[in-house]
């Protein structure tokens, strides 16, 4: 694997999450690589200051346009197709939407690390455009964008999916066979965080009003994440629910949430580790492409109550690191919580035993080794 010039392309660098950990791992592997993206927000993505970043013409647009992706969506195809990669011999696109659409020369290897086919076009379109009238008015344009998206998905020389669930979607929506490499879990880093969390001063970071026990959600607050399902259930329960994250649904979720539901954001990993360690369980209401937070939770000994669909089924060991519910309904989630209450002591013991070993399947060094083998 000898490439003189390497580029890494990502949809937008304006936040922090599981995918961004992938970008940092790629930076470790290719420290001289140039990162291309549509827009970059150095305030909300301070982690990216170490990267060499090149943005598109969209960087100069007014902030409200960049923040409202429903407005800026028509511009993204032009943004990524406008990049010139003639001087690069390897380009890795990391994408859940537009970055795979870049145009490269025949002598340039383009490998796409596919997070998922665009959710707002294929698997979760009704979660993004909820109004039937809006879907009707935008129908023609969305049909065009679907056609363009499928065409652009043929451009990468190779596609690597992040999970078996995404691999199936790539075949279903794009007609592309793909390899599969799970995203990297930095075991060494999280072990340091875990050891640090044993310090009494770190343990004291837990708020007093949370010491009586709580359930936990760690997620971006977006429509497809279905966080409103959990808030409706916990509005009818006495237990506390802590929701960690930010997103377009934050105001709406706070509006419908009772006093037993607490919202937190912009936590350090050390603070997050304290929440994981002391939570009754992590709740995942969404169909995840992979489900990175399920690994984090189990690593810290917290069982997971998850919707039985998507990448979570590949991560969670049922009866050892978590349990599932079958429908995205209040009744189904409520039933899972009640079932968890009956087995929680046994399940927590098993999670502490198996959770740490389970992450070895997803270790960062294994990710690097598998990716290098493909390249």
Give the model confidence (pLDDT) of 125-162 as tens digits: 666 666 666 666 566 778 889 999 999 999 999 999 99
According to DSSP, residue 174 is labeled: I
Is 275 a member of any domain?
A: yes
Residue with tokens 């009818």: 236
Tokens describing residue 211: 């010491």
Binned at pLDDT 50, 70 and 90, residue 210 comes out as confident
Length of the chain: 375
How far is Cα 215 from Cα 211, in angstroms, rounded to an integer? 11
Phi, psi of 94 (to 5 degrees): -115, 115
Range of the domain at 150: 6-180
Q: Position of tokens 């937008």? A: 12
Element (H, E) at 243: strand 240-244
| Residue 319 predicted with pLDDT over 80 | yes
pLDDT of residue 89: 95
Q: Cβ neighbours of residue 315 under 8 Å, at least 6 residues apart?
A: 290, 291, 294, 295, 358, 362
Position 240 in a domain: yes
Non-local (6+) Cβ contacts of 240 within 8 A are: 209, 210, 212, 213, 214, 215, 234, 260, 261, 262
The 10s digit of each residue's pLDDT in 232-258 is 999 999 899 999 999 989 999 999 999
**Cα separation, 173 vs 67, whole angstroms:** 27
User: How far lies 85's CA from each of 95, 99, 100, 215, 319, in Å?
Assistant: 17, 13, 13, 47, 48
Distance CA(341)–CA(330), nearest Å, equals: 17
- Identify the pLDDT of residue 66: 74
pLDDT more than 70, % of the chain: 92
Residue 204 above 90 pLDDT?
Answer: no
How distant, in Å, are the alpha carbons of 22, 38, 75, 237, 272 from that of 35? Answer: 13, 10, 19, 46, 28
- Mean pLDDT for 69-84 is 89
- pTM of the model as a whole: 0.91
Q: How big is the CA angle at 277 (ends 273 and 278), to the nearest 5 degrees?
A: 120
Mean residue pLDDT across the chain: 92
Neighbours of 175 (CB within 10 A): 10
Instruction: Point out the domain boundary residue: 180, 198, 217.
Output: 180
Count: domains in the chain: 2
Contact 289/310 with Cβ under 8 angstroms? yes
Structure tokens at 281: 């369980």
Give the other-Cβ count within 10 Å of 73's Cβ: 18
145 lies in the same domain as 73? yes
Angle at 316 between CA 198 and CA 127, to 5 degrees: 105
Residues β-bridged to residue 282: 216, 304
**Does residue 372 form part of some domain?**
no
How far is it, in rounded angstroms, from Cα 341 to Cα 345? 8
> Tell me, what's the pLDDT at 120?
84
Place of tokens 């990716």: 371
The backbone torsions φ and ψ at residue 90, rounded to the nearest 5 degrees and listed phi first, read -140, 130
Q: Confirm whether 22 is domain-assigned.
A: yes
What's the pLDDT score for residue 199?
73
What is the spatial distance between Cα 102 and Cα 332, in angstroms, rounded to a whole number?
42
Do 352 and 252 belong to one domain?
yes
Tell me, yes or no, whether 350 lies in a domain: yes
User: Do 152 and 17 fall within a single domain?
Assistant: yes
Do residues 152 and 252 share a domain?
no
Final residue before a domain boundary, out of 180, 212, 229: 180
Q: Are residues 17 and 159 in the same domain?
A: yes
Cβ proximity of 69 and 44 under 8 Å: no
pLDDT over threshold 90, residue 63: no
For residue 374, being part of any structural domain is answered with no
- Angle, helices 330-358 vs 292-299, to 10°: value is 60
Q: Which of 124, 147, 180 is the last residue of a domain?
A: 180
Task: Provide the pLDDT for residue 111.
Answer: 98
Residue 310 domain flag: yes
Q: Verify that 197 and 136 share a domain, yes or no.
A: no
């Amino acid at each position: 694997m000898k490439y003189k010039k390497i580029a890494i392309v990502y949809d937008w660098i304006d936040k922090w999450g599981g995918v961004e950990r992938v970008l940092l791992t790629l930076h470790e592997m290719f420290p001289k690589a140039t990162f291309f993206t549509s827009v970059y927000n150095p305030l909300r993505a301070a982690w990216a200051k170490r990267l060499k970043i090149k943005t598109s013409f969209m960087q100069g647009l007014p902030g409200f346009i960049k923040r409202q992706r429903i407005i800026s969506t028509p511009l993204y195809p032009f943004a990524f197709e406008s990049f010139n990669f003639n001087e690069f011999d390897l380009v890795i696109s990391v994408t859940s939407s537009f970055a795979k659409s870049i145009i490269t020369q025949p002598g340039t290897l383009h490998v796409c690390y596919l997070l998922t086919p665009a959710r707002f076009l294929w698997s979760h379109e009704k979660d993004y455009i909820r109004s039937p009238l809006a879907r009707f008015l935008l129908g023609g344009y969305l049909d065009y964008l679907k056609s363009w998206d499928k065409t652009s998905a043929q451009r990468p020389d190779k596609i690597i999916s992040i999970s078996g669930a995404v691999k199936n979607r790539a075949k279903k929506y794009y007609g592309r066979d793909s390899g599969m490499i799970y995203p990297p879990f930095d075991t060494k880093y999280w072990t340091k965080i875990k050891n640090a969390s044993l310090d009494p001063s770190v343990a004291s970071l837990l708020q007093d009003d949370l010491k009586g026990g709580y359930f936990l959600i760690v997620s971006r607050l977006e429509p497809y994440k279905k966080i409103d399902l959990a808030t409706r259930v916990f509005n009818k329960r006495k237990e506390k629910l802590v929701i960690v994250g930010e997103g377009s649904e934050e105001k709406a979720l706070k509006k419908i949430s009772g006093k037993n539901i607490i919202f937190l954001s912009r936590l350090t990993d050390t603070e997050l580790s304290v929440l994981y360690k002391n939570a009754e369980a992590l709740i995942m209401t969404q169909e995840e492409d992979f489900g990175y937070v399920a690994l984090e939770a189990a690593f810290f000994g917290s069982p997971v109550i998850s919707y039985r669909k998507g990448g979570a089924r590949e991560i969670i060991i049922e009866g050892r690191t978590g349990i599932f519910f079958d429908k995205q309904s209040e009744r189904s989630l409520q039933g899972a919580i009640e079932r968890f209450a009956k087995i929680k002591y046994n399940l927590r013991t098993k999670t502490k035993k198996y959770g740490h070993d389970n992450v070895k399947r997803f270790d960062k060094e294994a990710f690097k080794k598998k990716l290098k083998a493909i390249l």
